[in-house]
Amino acid sequence: MFDSISDKFSGIMRSLAGKSKITEKNVQEAVEEIKMALLDADVNLRVVRRFINGTMEEATGEKVLKAVDPGQQFVKIVYDRMVALLGDEENQKLLLKGPDTTSVILMMGLQGSGKTTTAAKLALRLKKEGRRVMLVAADLVRPAAILQLQVLGEAVGVPVFSLEGEKNPAKVAKAALAQAKKDQRDVLIVDTSGRMHLDETLMDEIQKVRDAISPDETLFVADAMTGQNAVTIAKEFEQKVGISGVVLSKFDSDTRGGAALSLRSVVGKPIKFIGVGEKVEDLDPFYPYRIASRILGMGDIVSLVEKAQSVVDENAAIRMQEKMAKNTFDLQDYLDQLNSMDKMGSIDQLLEMIPGAKGQVSEDDVNTEEIRREKAIILSMTYAERSNYHIMGPTRRKRVAKGSGTTVSDVNRLLKKFEKMRLTMKKLAKNKKYQAEMLKQMGM
């Protein structure tokens, strides 16, 4: 799922993310590419339009174009909109009553959508959470449905209620609820019948089942492989029966993902779970943030952007750029840098979030112990020394080593490293692009 759209998005994002200056035209081009990628993925046209217009409006504002890191700001805007498109984390949970009453979950969907399998997957999931679950075979249309649910029920260790010979699903559901209460089962999952197509009989039947048992959750199972059709059908179910959430089955399949991206927005109901395989364990909660990162093809780089934005004051960044340009960057500035990196959490944690950084950057490059030492050394220096390290003769070096609990060779190493850094900055001072790169390397 999402392979192709993710490839495209990661290309678009990468082309802008590193830029230290972007124009309205850059944004326009990127937005146009995003539009094509969404349409190619079979996302609902109206959803695409809304997404594009909103992004364009937000991304061409002064705040973005004049920012120090406009590329990153753009990535963040697209990411936030993608998350909003997919839903918000708060609404993902099932709304069930406490364990002392019986909650009812009604499963709906077209035949073959994965309804019966999902009912069993959900039963297993809730059972693992400590719930006492009962499954109900109220799909009386498909001949093998009852048997299928019995087999699945056995596999997940959950009893299956059925009424031999009964043709009315609402009656079965009602009897099942009474039984569940008697047996102190606290969750009842009702599998209803599906048809090949939407029809009045199907809707009628489900409405009757719904009225007989007043479900706490009515979950619509949509087959991700059916694309836009799944969106249309979900809308129909929402209008006729009412749905509280969507389960997107066959998320593991190689589809373009348009349905997943349109469902929430068109139907207005949260996607609560995704089916990720044929086995009974293959049901995952749907996490909009994770999926959005995956679509953007950027690992968790967006959390990194957010973190960076929350701690880095833009004026400080501009001042830093000026200092680099004038080559007046001193050890105090370096210390400020180290401290701002600290606020962002451990370096190891940061690396975890950068796709591809693991393995590329060796342990030595981000030696936290070394950073701690460097900070101690700079803190032991006077302000005069920090602003002009050239005055650091052997006596001063010895004093600083002692004061910081390090050795003279630690002090020498830091000063050498700093000197090298300044040289690089001098060389790159006139090259804005590398400057931005450098700032990024330093955790700005």
Is 251 annotated in a binding site? The answer is yes
Is 407 annotated in a binding site? The answer is no
Distance, C-alpha 222 to centroid of its chain? 21
Is 250 annotated in a binding site? The answer is yes
Structural tokens at position 201 = 């009989």
Which residues lie closer than 8 Å to 175 by C-beta, 6 or more apart? 161, 163
Told to check if 194 binds ligand GDP by CB under 6 A, we report: yes
Is 110 annotated in a binding site? The answer is yes
Told to check if 272 binds ligand GDP by CB under 6 A, we report: no
Told to check if 294 binds ligand GDP by CB under 6 A, we report: no
- Binder among 8, 35, 115, 269 for ligand GDP (CB under 6 A): 115
Structural tokens at position 224 = 């991700």
Nearer Cβ to ligand GDP, position 30 or 105? 105
Nearer Cβ to ligand GDP, position 117 or 262? 117
Show the binding pattern over residues 206-245: x = contacts ligand GDP (CB under 6 A), - = does not.
----------------------------------------
Told to check if 257 binds ligand GDP by CB under 6 A, we report: no
Structural tokens at position 428 = 């790159």
The piece of 115-123, 165-173, 208-216, 385-393 that touches ligand GDP (CB under 6 A) is 115-123
Locate tokens 């000063």: which residue? 415
Told to check if 116 binds ligand GDP by CB under 6 A, we report: yes
- Binder among 72, 73, 162, 249 for ligand GDP (CB under 6 A): 249
> Residue 68, SS3?
coil
Q: How far is CA 5 from CA 97, 252, 412, in A?
A: 39, 15, 50
Alpha-carbon distance of 225 to 222, in angstroms, equals 9
The piece of 37-45, 273-281, 327-335, 386-394 that touches ligand GDP (CB under 6 A) is 273-281
Is 191 annotated in a binding site? The answer is yes
Nearer Cβ to ligand GDP, position 54 or 112? 112
> Residue 442, SS3?
coil
Is 195 annotated in a binding site? The answer is yes
Told to check if 443 binds ligand GDP by CB under 6 A, we report: no
Told to check if 153 binds ligand GDP by CB under 6 A, we report: no
* Number of chain residues interacting with ligand GDP (CB under 6 A): 18
Told to check if 111 binds ligand GDP by CB under 6 A, we report: yes
Residue with the closest Cβ to ligand GDP? 275
Alpha-carbon distance of 151 to 178, in angstroms, equals 23
Is 113 annotated in a binding site? The answer is yes
Is 252 annotated in a binding site? The answer is yes
Is 223 annotated in a binding site? The answer is no
Confirm if 148 and 113 have CB atoms less than 8 A apart: no
Told to check if 117 binds ligand GDP by CB under 6 A, we report: yes
> Residue 138, SS3?
strand
The piece of 129-137, 175-183, 248-256, 359-367 that touches ligand GDP (CB under 6 A) is 248-256
> Residue 73, SS3?
helix
- Binder among 26, 44, 103, 113 for ligand GDP (CB under 6 A): 113
Alpha-carbon distance of 365 to 409, in angstroms, equals 18
Alpha-carbon distance of 178 to 370, in angstroms, equals 67
Confirm if 388 and 330 have CB atoms less than 8 A apart: yes
Nearer Cβ to ligand GDP, position 58 or 223? 223
Told to check if 284 binds ligand GDP by CB under 6 A, we report: no
Confirm if 188 and 134 have CB atoms less than 8 A apart: yes
> Residue 273, SS3?
strand
> Residue 108, SS3?
strand
**Could you tell me the smallest distance in angstroms from the CB atom of residue 242 to ligand GDP?**
19
**Could you tell me the smallest distance in angstroms from the CB atom of residue 424 to ligand GDP?**
52
- Binder among 277, 285, 345, 355 for ligand GDP (CB under 6 A): 277
The alpha carbon torsion through 173, 175, 181, 183 (nearest 10 deg) reads: -110
Helices of type H across 129-246: 145-156, 169-182, 200-213, 228-240
Told to check if 285 binds ligand GDP by CB under 6 A, we report: no
Q: Residue 306 is which amino acid? A: E
**Order of strands across the sheet that contains 133-138:** 160-161, 133-138, 187-192, 103-108, 217-223, 245-249, 271-275, 283-285
Which residues lie closer than 8 Å to 153 by C-beta, 6 or more apart? 120, 123, 135, 159, 160
Nearer Cβ to ligand GDP, position 118 or 435? 118
**Could you tell me the smallest distance in angstroms from the CB atom of residue 318 to ligand GDP?**
50
Told to check if 275 binds ligand GDP by CB under 6 A, we report: yes
Known binding-site residue numbers for GTP: 109-116, 191-195, 249-252
List residues binding ligand GDP (CB under 6 A): 109, 111-117, 194, 249-250, 252-253, 275-278, 282
Annotated binding residues: 109-116, 191-195, 249-252
